[in-house]
Amino acid sequence: MRKVKLIPFVLVLALASAAFADQITLKNGDRITGTIVKSDGKTVVIHTDSAGDVTVKFDAVAKITTDKPLHVALKNGQTVNGTITTTDDKIDVAPTTGKPVEAPTADVVAIRNDADQLAYEKTLHPTLLEGWNGGANVGFSLTRGNSQTENLSLGFTAARPTTTDKITLYTNAVYGTNQLATPSTTANTEMGGIRYDRNVNPRLFGFISADFSSNGLQDLNLRSVGSLGLGFHAIKKDATTLDILAGGNFTDENYTQFMTNTVVTPPVTTASKLIHNYGALTLGEELTHKMGKASVLTEKLYFFPNLSEAGQYRGTFDVALVTKINKWFGWQSNISDIYVSNPPTGTRDNDVVLTTGLNVTFTH
């Protein structure tokens, strides 16, 4: 008798549990009960006890009812906090205080729980020290025996994206020597810069940047480039982004040029400064693609035609692949190609650098 009486009691508890939970009814009649976590207007994520987080397409939903208040962001900029009921392509939000709000479900931009809403609000007005993410990489190689070489590569990148703008910092250096026979330097480059992007609309943004570089093998003491222009998000997805950039820049190049006078005996080598100051176009594209859960591929191609001297130009090409080993560490490989059409006499116009090494990521 006790077991028989227990069955109705269990049923009452189950029904009470379902009554105090969020529920999604699909257009095919299926129902999912749990706790709604978030929505971006295209999909809805509901957490269930049996299946964990379940993602449902928003246009496949016939009805949503919630037991606890959620934050609903609408296209008109209004955000309402309250329990939700959707019927006939309309959403009704009953706030804890104030009048109910009704709107078409097509006007829903996002639905967030308290934790997601707090995180979103922090992105709207972060301090300058908040929101940074990036990484540093280091690579080192040493050979002895039939060859005696040392190579060191260092790099650092950091970005601070918000809903309205983005700051990007970078610096890297490669140094290599060969000590066998006649000691020589095989690589000696340093680069660094900063860029600020400001969104004009979801697709278009303006940018301003400053870049600095030196190359010991090309006798480049310092190249300073200030750029200004517009960018367009040709592809803007979670897994892939492709930006097209165009603008102008002013370039200042300072070289040391060595000239040998062979008329006299013995020949005399003198050094002089070779300075290039010119305006140029900035034309480029930047690609980022997530290759599965562990690897990210980035690629950048830039072309800088000289506006002061026809036929002269500079180009850069960079490809990097970072594969995560765990949350903090990964392995990075990078190829850089820098071409200058008018280097000093006696130096090459093209430099290709391949580096690989450990990558450490951070988030603040």
DSSP for 37-92 reads EEE-SSEEEEEETTTEEEEEEGGGEEEEE-SS-EEEEETTS-EEEEEEEEETTEEE
Domains in the chain, please, with CATH? 2-124 (no CATH), 133-363 (2.40.160.40)
Q: Which of 120, 78, 121, 118 is nearest to 102 (CA)?
A: 78
Total-model pTM: 0.70
CA distance 64 to 35: 11
Q: Which of 288, 361, 277 is nearest to 321 (CA)?
A: 288
User: For 62-94, how does the pLDDT look when each residue is reduced to its tens digit (9 = 90+)?
Assistant: 888 888 898 999 988 888 999 988 887 888 999
CA distance 41 to 72: 10
Q: Which of 121, 23, 36, 43 is nearest to 79 (CA)?
A: 121
CA distance 31 to 64: 10
Q: Which helix (H) or strand (E) holds 318?
A: strand 313-324
Backbone dihedral region for residue 320 (phi beyond 0: left; psi -120 to 50: alpha; all else: beta) = beta
- pLDDT for 184 equals 82
Residue 258: both structure tokens together:
């060595």
Percentage of residues of the chain with pLDDT beyond 70? 91
- pLDDT for 304 equals 96
Amino acid making up residue 14? A
CA distance 70 to 47: 14
Q: In the chain, what is the straight-line distance between the N-terminal and C-terminal CA atoms, in Å? A: 61
Residue 54: both structure tokens together:
């379940």
**Average pLDDT along the chain:** 85
- pLDDT for 197 equals 97
Q: Is 116 helix (H, G, I), strand (E, B) or coil?
A: helix
**Average of pLDDT values for 278-286?**
96
Instruction: Name, of 3-7, 100-104, 242-246, the range with top average pLDDT.
Output: 242-246
- pLDDT for 181 equals 65
Burial 310-328 (b: 16+ CB within 10 A, else e): eebbbbbbbebbbebeeee
Burial 197-231 (b: 16+ CB within 10 A, else e): bebeeeeebebebebebbbeebbbeebebebebeb
CA distance 277 to 25: 67
